Amino acid sequence: MTVNTQTDTGRRVIDRSERIAIVLNYALLIFLSIIFLIPFYVILRNAFLPSKLITAFDWTWLPMPPSTNGWRDLLANTNANIVDGLRNSLVIAILQTVGQIAICSFAGYGLARIPFKYSNIVFYAILVTLMIPGAVTFVPLFVLVASFGWISTFQGLIIPGLFSGFNTFLFRNFFLNFPKELEEAGLMDGLDHFGVFFRLVLPNSMSVMMSLGVITFIGAWNSFLWPLVIGQRSETWTVQIVLSTFMTAQTVNLPAIFMGAAVSILPLVIVFLFMQRYIVEGVKMSGIKG
């Protein structure tokens, strides 16, 4: 009887410690979520506040009543149309994402599965590119794009971003862990390497492709410096460049900037909400599931 009493007491202690751990975990998650959401709250708050209240010393928690000056100024800017900027950013981000995932997946699969003499040299050369800062290659890349006559064109904005050494590295590591039995069965059935890739490997690699696709899309959407240098005409301005026109040496239209920021991050929020499970699966590099 004493043994049972001690056992029950031990279980209660364990159950209590587990409940405390769960409460602490949820409290930490709630705290981190609040910190994560603060910038979004500030953006939405300032988007519906007049400029004098944004810069006032007294903090205004909610815009009551909400001001529409930011939205009106955002649409009234004829020199830099926000709708055109959103369209350009969407086109560039989609094409870069699709092109980069296609090219990097081909390169990663070739380095992982197709034997050739200089595969290791090519792979190490790709790794070396990851160690070179982007600022070092920025000017040579601009000179190369300018020599092709791609200034203020979508070719100049899209084509230099169609390859990523980092994505190629991740694809290669993923395909190295891919079951060889499936590929060997496909080769025995008469498929070549392209057939094996498109019919067997690709359908079972959607998790890593979607994960890297989301990351690539976000990076292409948020790009600022390269579109600023290459897109010298307003027809090719992205949404980031359009927002920068509201901040000049003479004036800063804060409501329009925050309203534009709220509009520009909305597609990223939607993409992240719908694709977050693919990001988790891709990071795990789980491969084929039974």
CATH number, domain of 95, equals 1.10.3720.10
Tokens of 197: 């890739």
What per-residue confidence (pLDDT) applies to 14?
59
Segment 93-131, tens digit of pLDDT: 999 999 999 999 999 998 988 888 888 899 999 989 888
**Number of independent structural domains in the chain:** 2
Which of the listed residues 47, 62, 80 is the one where a domain comes to its end? 47
Do residues 279 and 214 lie in contact, with contact meaning Cβ atoms separated by under 8 Å?
yes
How confident is the model at residue 54, as a pLDDT? 82
What are the residue ranges of helices labelled H in the chain? Answer: 2-47, 51-54, 69-76, 82-113, 119-130, 134-147, 154-158, 165-176, 180-188, 193-196, 206-222, 225-230, 239-244, 254-284
**Shared domain check, 254 and 174:** yes
Whether residue 290 lies inside any domain: the answer is no
For residues 43 and 76, state if they share a domain.
no
Task: Name, in order, each residue with C-beta under 8 angstroms of 240's C-beta and a sequence gap of 6 or more.
Answer: 85, 89, 222, 223, 224, 227, 228, 264
Do residue 103 and residue 22 come from a single domain?
no
Judge contact between 173 and 285, C-beta under 8 A: yes
Q: Are residues 27 and 82 in the same domain?
A: no
Each residue's pLDDT tens digit, 231-255: 888 889 999 998 888 887 677 888 8
Domain hosting 6: range is: 2-47
Is residue 44 within 8 Å of residue 262, measured between CB atoms? yes
Looking at the predicted structure, is the pLDDT value of residue 270 above 80? Answer: yes
39 and 98 fall within a common domain: no
Tell whether 39 and 150 lie within a shared domain: no
